[in-house]
Structure 1
Amino acid sequence: MGAARRLVDADTGEAVPYAPYAFTGGHTQVDKARVEAITESKDFTPSQKFLVLWWIGVSPEGMAPLRATGADIAKRVGMTADAVGKINRKLLKRRILIERGRIGNYRLYRISPYIAFHGTGIEQREAIKSCNPPEIPGFQNLTPARWEAQ
């Protein structure tokens, strides 16, 4: 192994203090504008919004699917398997979820890489080439100019 690398202040040449993350687990890059559009939209039910946020948190690294059935997900989130299935199908239709495989009759999903991605920026750029952008009502109205005005 090589020597540990440290950040150095370009002006003073002094080492920049290092502080480890105070968080456990992996970190995900999230498109804040798309999540804002989903959570503020009247076109999504509270349960749909909840599952979008849940999918952001549980989708594996890269483009791998979550290996779980609707019944597995239902137990984890406190819903019925029918409700989870219905919501997942609606999110799939809007391309918020993407199908990434099957086990028998079970579809395997993950969150769209346009919304959230666990991996490098280069990997995310490659991932979005494999799917179309999600359909999120109100997303086109969220622009950087709107954020600056707030």
Structure 2
Amino acid sequence: MAMNTTNPLEKAASTLRQHTDRGWMAIRADVFSHALAMFRPSAPVRGVHGAGEFFLAADVLVAHLRDALDAIPRAGVSRITCTTDADHNLEAVTVEIIALYRARLVPLAEMIRHRAAELLVQVLGLSPEQLRDVPVHVGVTDVTNDAALL
């Protein structure tokens, strides 16, 4: 496709579009295979509501938990993981936090557990009996005196 133009920028862009670098041709298959390998679908987590059972992506559950826990003062969530069994039933939730210096850690962990439990009931429809079987582990991974880092 030839272009008749007097604009040097358009001419340069047109020339570059027609050129394929040999280096790119040599590595493009590797780049695409690495990109595809990086995609990992989120594990399903089983929930229940009036119409029956459903599956929720663990990434979606983690996002809901993170939003709910952001409101807790003196702590910031650094990581949340969900563990499920072979049938995709939630077995445990682990919440890693950054705590504000001098925060009382035991009451802080209890607030996190309580709020996470409320959300699990709301989102997954867990009954109080089922909730007792799903521990919420809270770990402190860092402590800071800068509330902006939470």
TM-score, normalised via structure 2 length: 0.30
Question: In proportion to residue count, which structure has more helix?
Answer: 2
Question: In proportion to residue count, which structure has more strand?
Answer: 2
Say which structure, 1 or 2, has more relative contact order (CA 8 Å, 6+ apart): 1
TM-score, normalised via structure 1 length: 0.30
